[in-house]
Chain A
Amino acid sequence: EIVLTQSPGTLSLSPGERATLSCRASQTVSSSYLAWYQQKPGQAPRLLIFGTSSRATGIPDRFSGSGSGTDFTLTITRLEPEDFAVYYCLQYVSSYTFGQGTKLEIK
């Protein structure tokens, strides 16, 4: 099973700042099968990025994804108040596993 490890566990930033979230895989993941989700309390996850770097429908361009091999990154430029949430990475090349999540909180 591919294990995804996200860091940091919690990220404290202010609106307007840049957020960089990391997702490291225990083995190589094809870049076609790495996605990122945002989840707010009491809500279902929302797809942000699929195929490492493709934005889902309706996702603002301040969200971007990058990476390859075992290291992937979600970057949010110019944080908006609505961006504070928990973020999960997902690999869907070998079964399906999620990272444990990064909580992005307001500083």
Chain B
Amino acid sequence: QVQLVQSGAEVKKPGASVKVSCNASGYTFTSYYLHWMRQAPGQGLEWMGWIHPNSGGTNYAQKYQGRVTMTRDTPISTAYMELTRLISDDTAVYYCTRRGDAFDIWGHGTMVTVSP
């Protein structure tokens, strides 16, 4: 079936970087934009940016410009989101999601905890 499987939870120190992976299966990876969202504990959803798996083109929310990099490895149908210079406010669940009919398929989420 169509699914996105994300990497496991991470604990990082302030100032470090984190790289989350998202493996797609059940559909043609290169045919759909792949977006990243995040959700801080008890908070709402926030869009971070997208990557087009075919071209590698990206578009990032202004808030994350300079700190986020989205990449992909097409042969293994996997997208990556790297966030640098982590602070405590980056503690959140990070989701990858496919842009089909709206955001129709979501990964299960990756908890990233930033703690001294």
Q: Which residues of A contact B (CB under 8 A)?
A: 35, 37, 43-47, 50-51, 54, 56-57, 88, 90, 92, 95-101
Contacts and interface: CB of A to CB of B under 8 A. Distances in A.
B116 interface: no
Contacts, number: 48
Contact of A44 (B35, B47, B61, B108): B108
B11 interface: no
Taking each of A44, A45, A56, A100, which has the highest tally of chain B beta carbons within 10 Å of its own beta carbon?
A: A44
Interface of B: 35, 44-47, 61, 95, 97, 101-104, 106-109
Nearest to B95: A44
Given A47-B102, A47-B104, A88-B44, 4 more contacts: A50-B101, A92-B102, A96-B47, A98-B45
A35 B44 contact: no
A47 B101 contact: yes
Contact of A97 (B35, B47, B108): B47
7 contacts: A43-B108, A45-B103, A56-B101, A57-B104, A88-B44, A92-B102, A97-B47
Contacts of A101: 44
